[in-house]
Amino acid sequence: MKNDHDLDMLAREAYTAVFCDVLDDMGYRSQSTNGDVRPLWPDARLVGYARTVRVEAVEQASESPYEKEFTLVDALNPGDIVVAECGTTRSAFWGELLATAAQVRGARGALIDGYCRDVFKVRDLSFPVFARGTAPTDSKGRTEVAETDIPITFDGVRVATGDLVFGDFDGIVIVPRDVADEAITKALEKVHGERTVFEALRNGMSAREAWERWGIL
């Protein structure tokens, strides 16, 4: 079950670094991805709940090569983020039309450990996409969806459907859904603390003194 949080507020107030800090303190020290999957434009930011998909290479197109892809996208709910493990095949799993269908259903973005195409058109939609790279080739006859809503390994991190996903230019962090409430509360508290430290440093306080007073850096 998804946690009931204001995702727009989280997108405005929080950032990946603060989530990594609080997850470190909670004992979850390996929740940020390897850095190979990057935003397709610098100001892309996303926050929402994972809908996982595993994509596999094929030798030739099946009779209905997009069937499971349609099933996944048409079943998306508001707040969802598509998180796709695509293997090494260099073809585009994601593009303008899937992004449009996902956006209309309230999805908040896509994380593709693989390739995307139609990048300028996707950007014009303001639909955040993070990917390993871009490729103009279609997935038909190259890859097909194998499974959905199963645990996957995404750029080095385990992800399950329902996990909280946060991505910005620094990278991507996966917050296990069982600890999402606690992590969000602590992240927002740390954001407030960092603002206090920022103002103190701007007013001339030394970094050492600020650390000794607030324990935030």
Fold annotation for 7-175? Glucose Oxidase; domain 1 (3.50.30)
On the question of pLDDT at 43 being above 60, the answer is: yes
What tokens appear for 131 in the block? 């990917």
- Token look-up 């293997």 returns 87
On the question of pLDDT at 1 being above 50, the answer is: no
Q: Which tens digits make up the pLDDT trace of 86-132?
A: 988 889 999 999 999 999 999 999 999 999 999 999 999 999 999 99
The residue-averaged pLDDT of 135-142 equals: 92
| CA gap 121, 112 in Å, rounded | 17
pTM above 0.85, yes or no: yes
CB 98 within 8 A of CB 115: no
On the question of pLDDT at 5 being above 80, the answer is: no
Q: Identity (one letter) of the amino acid at 214? A: W
Q: What is the DSSP string of the chain?
A: ------HHHHHHH--HHHHHHHHHHTT----B--S-SEESSTT--EEEEEEEEEEEE-SS--SSTTHHHHHHHHT--TTEEEEEE-TT--SEEE-HHHHHHHHHTT--EEEEEEEE--HHHHHHTT--EEEEEE---BSTTTEEEEEESS-EEETTEEE-TT-EEEEETTEEEEE-GGGHHHHHHHHHHHHHHHHHHHHHHHTT--HHHHHHHH---
